[in-house]
Amino acid sequence: MALYRAHVIVSIDSFSILKGAIEVKDTLIDKLKKYKLDQEVKVLEMSTLGQIKDVPVILIYPEKVVYAPVKVEDIDEIVEEHLLKGRVVKRLIKELPWLPKKPKLEEARIVLSNAGLIDPELIEEYIANDGYVALGKVVKEMKPDEVLEVIENSNLLGRGGAAFPTGLKWKFTRKAKGEPKYIIANADESEPGTFKDRLILEGDPHRIIEAMVIAGFAVGSHIGYIYIRGEYALVIERIKNAINQAHNMGFLGENIFGSDFNFEIKIHKGAGAYVCGEETALIESIEGKRGEPRTRPPYPPTYGLWGKPTVVNNVETFANVPPIIRNGPDWFKRFGTERCSGTKVYTILGNINNKGLIEVPMGISLRDVINIYGDGIPGDKKFKLAQTGGTSGSIIPESMLDVPMDYASMMEAGAALGSGALLICDETNCIVDLLKPLTHFFNYESCGKCVPCRVGTTKIYKIIERISRGGGLNTDISMLEDISKTMAATSLCGLGQAAAVPVLSAIKHFRGEIETHIFDKICPLGVCKI
Which residues contact other proteins by CB under 8 A? 1-7, 39-40, 42, 61-63, 83-87, 117, 124-125, 127-128, 130, 132-133, 136-137, 140-141, 248-251, 257-258
Rank residues 53 and 140 by Cβ distance to other proteins and give the closer one.
Answer: 140
In the bound complex, what is the minimum distance in angstroms from residue 251's beta carbon to other proteins?
7
Closest listed residue to residue 392, CA positions, set 414, 356, 419: 419
Rank residues 133 and 527 by Cβ distance to other proteins and give the closer one.
Answer: 133
Q: How far apart are CA 462 and CA 497, in angstroms?
A: 18
Rank residues 116 and 393 by Cβ distance to other proteins and give the closer one.
Answer: 116
In the bound complex, what is the minimum distance in angstroms from residue 129's beta carbon to other proteins?
9
Q: How far apart are CA 430 and CA 418, in angstroms?
A: 23
Q: Where are the alpha helices (DSSP H) in 69-132?
A: 75-77, 123-128
Residue 501, SS3 per DSSP: helix
Crossing angle for the helix pair 166-175 and 144-153, to the nearest 10 degrees: 150
Question: How many other C-beta atoms can be found within 10 angstroms of the C-beta atom of residue 122?
Answer: 16
Rank residues 83 and 493 by Cβ distance to other proteins and give the closer one.
Answer: 83
In the bound complex, what is the minimum distance in angstroms from residue 123's beta carbon to other proteins?
9
Rank residues 132 and 227 by Cβ distance to other proteins and give the closer one.
Answer: 132
Measured in degrees and rounded to the nearest 5, phi and psi for residue 73 equal: -65, -25
Going by their DSSP bridges, the two strands 421-426 and 404-405 should be labelled as unpaired
In the bound complex, what is the minimum distance in angstroms from residue 424's beta carbon to other proteins?
34
Residue 80 · residue 92 · CB < 8 Å: no
Q: How far apart are CA 265 and CA 530, in angstroms?
A: 54
Q: How far apart are CA 34 and CA 438, in angstroms?
A: 52
Residue 185 · residue 263 · CB < 8 Å: no
In the bound complex, what is the minimum distance in angstroms from residue 127's beta carbon to other proteins?
5
Q: How far apart are CA 225 and CA 480, in angstroms?
A: 39
Rank residues 88 and 477 by Cβ distance to other proteins and give the closer one.
Answer: 88
* Residue 134 host element (H or E): helix 133-141
Rank residues 30 and 63 by Cβ distance to other proteins and give the closer one.
Answer: 63
The dihedral formed by the CA atoms of 96, 100, 104 and 106, expressed in degrees to the nearest 10: 140
Strands (E), 39-102: 41-46, 58-61, 65-67
Q: How far apart are CA 66 and CA 51, in angstroms?
A: 12
Rank residues 140 and 511 by Cβ distance to other proteins and give the closer one.
Answer: 140
Rank residues 117 and 340 by Cβ distance to other proteins and give the closer one.
Answer: 117
In the bound complex, what is the minimum distance in angstroms from residue 264's beta carbon to other proteins?
15
Rank residues 3 and 529 by Cβ distance to other proteins and give the closer one.
Answer: 3
Longest dimension (CA), the chain: 76
Q: Where are the alpha helices (DSSP H) in 204-351?
A: 205-219, 233-249, 279-286, 315-327, 329-333
Rank residues 262 and 490 by Cβ distance to other proteins and give the closer one.
Answer: 262
Q: How far apart are CA 245 and CA 142, in angstroms?
A: 24
In the bound complex, what is the minimum distance in angstroms from residue 118's beta carbon to other proteins?
8
